[in-house]
Structure 1
Amino acid sequence: MSTPPVFFDHVIIEGVEDIHRYQPGGYHPILIDDRLNERYRIVDKLGHGGYSTVWLAVDEQTTKYVAVKVGTSGADRVEINVLSHMAQNPLSDTIPETNRLLIPP
């Protein structure tokens, strides 16, 4: 027997992603002070897009602030294809490797 879905009323806020997208295949729920990859402590949310959310984090190994982009698990490969294409661009070699990091799920 499956559990029926839970629905609730919420106010839609302009510029904030739809809460219904936080589900399997959608946005990954992240909270302030969460740690990702046992290295990045989430400080604040910077924004969102169709395929990801972007978070301000502290790299606990270097104590520097970084932006962490967390993709949706159910996204078609559009975002990954774009990022892969950008990584193959000769200009990407001018960006230090420490400024770009892909953390697999």
Structure 2
Amino acid sequence: MSLKALSDTILARRGADPETSWTAKLLAKGPEKCAEKFGEEAIEAVIEAVKGDRERLTSEAADALYHLLVMCAARNVSLDDIEAELARREGRSGIAEKAARKGS
């Protein structure tokens, strides 16, 4: 599944019955709960990266990406918004980008 397809699925489940959709259940709990769940999944991905288990890291990274998109959807930030921000940064050094953010 592509990130676009995943994002579209998340948006389509926004209004679904929370009893039949995990995504709808998360979104119904609000942005704060979605952020908490993303944080948990991100930590699990970090743990697997440190352990060096490629298969487990792949699984946890997929979970983290899903929960990142759910968290963003809960705050009306779309994958298109994220991609536009990445496009804005394209061709710019990561070091220069960090330095520019320090000034704001």
Fold conserved (TM > 0.5)? no
Give 1 or 2: higher helix fraction.
2
Q: Which has the higher contact order (CA 8 A, sep 6+)?
A: 2
Provide TM-score, normalisation by structure 1: 0.29
Give 1 or 2: higher strand fraction.
1
Provide TM-score, normalisation by structure 2: 0.29
